[in-house]
Amino acid sequence: MKAWLRSDGRKGIRNIVVVAYLVECAHHVAREIAWSLRENDVHTIGFPGCYPNEYAQKMMEQLCTHPNVGAVLLVSLGCENFNKLALSHAVRKSGRPLNTITIQATGGTRASINAGREWVAAQRAALDAAPTVDMDVSELIVGTVCGGSDGTSGITGNPAAGRAFDMLIEQGAACIFEETGELIGCEHIMAARAATPALAVEIEGAVAKAARYYAAMGYGSFSSGNADGGLSTIEEKSMGAYAKSGRSPIVGMIKPGDVPVKGGLYLLDVVPDGDIRFGYPNINDNAEIAELIACGSHVVLFVTGRGSVVGSAISPVIKICANPETYRRMADDMDVDAGRILDGEAGLDDVGTEIRDLVLALGSGARTRSEELGHQEFILTYKSFEPIGPACLPA
């Protein structure tokens, strides 16, 4: 694979210019700046809230210094509470080109858009001329998520993604699976795969926290489309989702924005700690994808049965279609046809190998369907977390 080397030693398989709004009031200006260059790896991310939040601050810092990001433009209204000095300091320290446009100081919408477009175009040109270095599989971080799941997801797409995880981990990569709220019912078999007894206790505790949290919200992480697709309960959905993790030992459990320190399989705990303050943990699939990327994921494997179309800002999303009928309807949106397994035309290892090969191809210039179609979804909302304990990380 070819990649761009960053000052922290991490390597990126994309060289994105990020335009980040720091409150919803600056969103329009940021979007207008990025729009004309959206097909040239200029992506918009941001945080809509005006109240300060440590989680959002950490997410924005990790996203703006993600290895796939080459330059950062911050767009501030001017009176919001987001700590833009801390964010700009983190980006500058990372060695990336940085500019901050404060709309109130720049003279309003039009002047800010013009100044932003000029800066972004100059950065784009500079990044396009930047040299690349070789990148090994052991330097990769890959996340996985499932969305729009149905009864096929747990039989075809998720176990195939799990096989790809096993192959990548064998080659030294770090792989992250997540949504503890969608692992409810699997806590005991999952804890049995923990690398240490202390980590097993942490994993069971994280799922118990998720079960309490969702019980208080009144519903599990379960949509009406899941039921149409043959899933009856959160436990059934969980068992299918769990198959994405493959068969490797679980070496660590991290929280959003924590980057794996070495290769192996990690569980991402996405359910907030403490009292229930900000509503549902992840209000949609892209909230989970953004967290996987904030944990350093270069690529995200997205398994869908009903047929999700989303991609993401910053990191490419590989869409693995579990359901053969959905694939026939939506092939243009899908990178991998895992429904062949249900039709008896391919085995789990065949599709797992195909997914692994596609991950590596993305590091050599290939693009995903959602990238080709211009998808750059992004969402970030309020949460609160305690730091992870020492038992959560591999020795």
Partner 1 sequence: MDTRLLLLDPRDNVVVVRAHLAAGDAVLIDNSEHVIGAPVAMAHKLARRDIASGEKVLKYGAPIGVATTDIPAGAHVHVHNMRSDYTPSFVLPKEAEAS
Q: How many residues bind partner 1 (CB under 8 A)?
A: 34
C-beta of 325 vs 350, nearer to partner 1: 325
Q: What is the rounded distance in angstroms from the CA atom of residue 241 to the CA atom of residue 367?
A: 25
- Shortest CB 392 distance to partner 1, Å: 24
C-beta of 236 vs 350, nearer to partner 1: 236
Tokens coding 356: 């692994």
Query: Per rule CB under 8 A, is residue 241 in the interface with partner 1?
Result: no
Which one among 32, 80, 139, 150 touches partner 1, defined by CB under 8 A?
Answer: 150
- Shortest CB 348 distance to partner 1, Å: 13
C-beta of 51 vs 219, nearer to partner 1: 219
Which one among 323, 368, 376, 381 touches partner 1, defined by CB under 8 A?
Answer: 323
C-beta of 201 vs 217, nearer to partner 1: 217
Query: Per rule CB under 8 A, is residue 220 in the interface with partner 1?
Result: yes
Query: Per rule CB under 8 A, is residue 204 in the interface with partner 1?
Result: no
Tokens coding 390: 């020492």
Query: Per rule CB under 8 A, is residue 184 in the interface with partner 1?
Result: yes
Task: Walk across the sheet containing 16-21 and list its strands.
Answer: 42-46, 16-21, 69-76, 98-102
Query: Per rule CB under 8 A, is residue 236 in the interface with partner 1?
Result: yes
Query: Per rule CB under 8 A, is residue 313 in the interface with partner 1?
Result: no
Check: CB of residue 380 under 8 Å from CB of residue 293: no
Check: CB of residue 253 under 8 Å from CB of residue 163: no
Query: Per rule CB under 8 A, is residue 264 in the interface with partner 1?
Result: no
C-beta of 85 vs 224, nearer to partner 1: 224
Which one among 24, 204, 235, 377 touches partner 1, defined by CB under 8 A?
Answer: 235
Which one among 171, 232, 331, 367 touches partner 1, defined by CB under 8 A?
Answer: 232
Query: Per rule CB under 8 A, is residue 148 in the interface with partner 1?
Result: no
Q: 275: Cβ–Cβ under 8 A, 6 or more apart, which residues?
A: none
Which one among 127, 137, 186, 359 touches partner 1, defined by CB under 8 A?
Answer: 186
Given the rule CB under 8 A, which of 90-98, 220-228, 257-265, 373-381 is the region that contacts partner 1?
Answer: 220-228
Query: Per rule CB under 8 A, is residue 222 in the interface with partner 1?
Result: yes
C-beta of 224 vs 390, nearer to partner 1: 224
Query: Per rule CB under 8 A, is residue 227 in the interface with partner 1?
Result: yes
Query: Per rule CB under 8 A, is residue 185 in the interface with partner 1?
Result: yes
Which one among 112, 226, 297, 370 touches partner 1, defined by CB under 8 A?
Answer: 226
Which one among 230, 280, 284, 394 touches partner 1, defined by CB under 8 A?
Answer: 230
- Shortest CB 242 distance to partner 1, Å: 9
Q: Which of 115, 88, 99 is nearest to 32 (CA)?
A: 115
Which one among 9, 131, 197, 218 touches partner 1, defined by CB under 8 A?
Answer: 218
Q: What is the rounded distance in angstroms from the CA atom of residue 282 to the CA atom of residue 288?
A: 6
Given the rule CB under 8 A, which of 23-31, 85-93, 100-108, 211-219 is the region that contacts partner 1?
Answer: 211-219
- Footprint of partner 1 (CB under 8 A): 150-152, 154-155, 184-186, 189, 211, 214-215, 218-220, 222-224, 226-230, 232-236, 239-240, 305, 323, 325, 342
